[in-house]
Amino acid sequence: MQLAELLKDWPCTVKGGSIRVEVFGIEDYAQGVQKGDLFVVRKGRKSDGLKYIDIAIENGAVGVVIEDEKLLDTLKLSVPLIWVPNCLKFMSYSAAKINNYPAEAMQVIAITGTNGKTTVSHFIGQLLHALHKNVIVIGTNGIFINGVEVKLSYEPLTTLQPKHLHKILKIAVNRGVQYVVLEASSMGLAKHRLDDCSINIGVFLNLAEDHIEDHGSYDKYKAAKQLLASLADQLVLNGDDSFCRTVGLQTKKKKAYFGLGNRVDYQLQLLAEGLTTSTCCLQSNKGQKVFSIPFVGEHHLQNAIAAITTVSELGFQIEEICNAAETLHLPSGRLESIKNDLNLSIYIDYAHTEAALRAVLQTLRKTVKGDLIVVFSCGGDRDKHKRIKMGAVASKYADLIYLTTDNPRSEDPEVINAQIAAGFTAKQQYEMILDRAQAIERAIRSAKEGDTILIAGKGHEKTQTIGTEQFEFSDYECVKSVIEKCMKDRVE
């Protein structure tokens, strides 16, 4: 696509070079620029793209995009210098246009909420695939087409940058994908990553305090979440959540409410609960159905009804959706049970907010035979306000707590853990072991037969960030290794 064609519908000023040059992509990371790319100058938290213009041009950039109009008079380049009012919006627009607006060829469902985005996105993907549709799920756990992970090169964010997202959507179109299910994070929405995605349904799950430092205030965090309502053609909202109700009241768009309570369009009632299965009744104006789902816990029921409602609003029949729901399974790192011969119930979960940790612990507490042991901490350089609250939640349900590390980044993990422990009851038994692998091993080795262990905070993640360094670390692999050592010790 020629630069002139790309820019003709966008407010801009071009200085120097030729607008007849061919453009093949857009990039804001100078070292990642390939021949034919436009280089977008952005100022990040740690560096300024302005310093890397020469590297971008050396790598083949055919144009440089800026949003500081004063630079038009000071920068002298060998390629076109392009001023636009907002670089983030331009990146979204240009990435979509260069890839021929691939989202328009599919049905796009975007999900936002403080908790549950990954689980609901995978539930929707599983339901659609069970209904014989080709579906891509994009989010925190990776990229999956019809349930199979696809290994592609991209920056692993909850909501992908447009430069990666639209390339991936183009691949999906070429593979015959009919439905896109993606997670819409508050930062992704605030940074305009989904502006040109042609979203058919926006799903609102819940809102709790999180990412406050990233946005500057709780009100700005809420406002970022609400942006999805303006981007989507239709809304699916949690009728049990006051924020979601407010979003619904503020729009005239078509909408459907789901929930476990009253005054909703799709209500899921729990009829019976076993150790691993919930029997439910779905009531809606599109039909009624009694069925079972293979997990327990109120938060999982909320996630299930969110997915069922969304698929129903896509036009599928209640009967076939509920039949498909009986085979749902949780994504990696979401209350994931790790089998063992130690007679222990061991789970890993991504819970890293007060609400998420409470939901998981309430679920586990129902089935605990012995003690409930929790291994967790909080991330560094963010959301300090939630540490004492998470400590209080853990202390309410856990018999024993091991405080450890969870991406402490530049903060002292002992200080982080002291802030968590400030929420503990006076009688709470706990121990601090900063090495996460050692904390996990201590929890498993100290447990008695029949005990339940929850390792919370990282879930599917495969790295640990300490200081400025990132190390390979997986809770799942660590647990498997400890189990193996314990079994070997028993034999010896």
Positions at the binding site for meso-2,6-diaminopimelate: 382, 406-409, 457, 461
Q: What's the distance, Cα to Cα, between the start and end of the chain in Å?
A: 68
Cα separation, 134 vs 144, whole angstroms: 11
Binding site listing: 113-119, 158-159, 185, 193, 382, 406-409, 457, 461
Q: Which phi-psi region, left, alpha or beta, contains residue 211 (left: φ > 0; alpha: ψ -120 to 50)?
A: left
Residue 368 makes CB contacts below 8 A (sequence gap 6+) with 345, 451, 452
- Binding-site residues from annotation for ATP: 113-119
Pairwise CA distance, residues 164 & 181, whole Å: 16
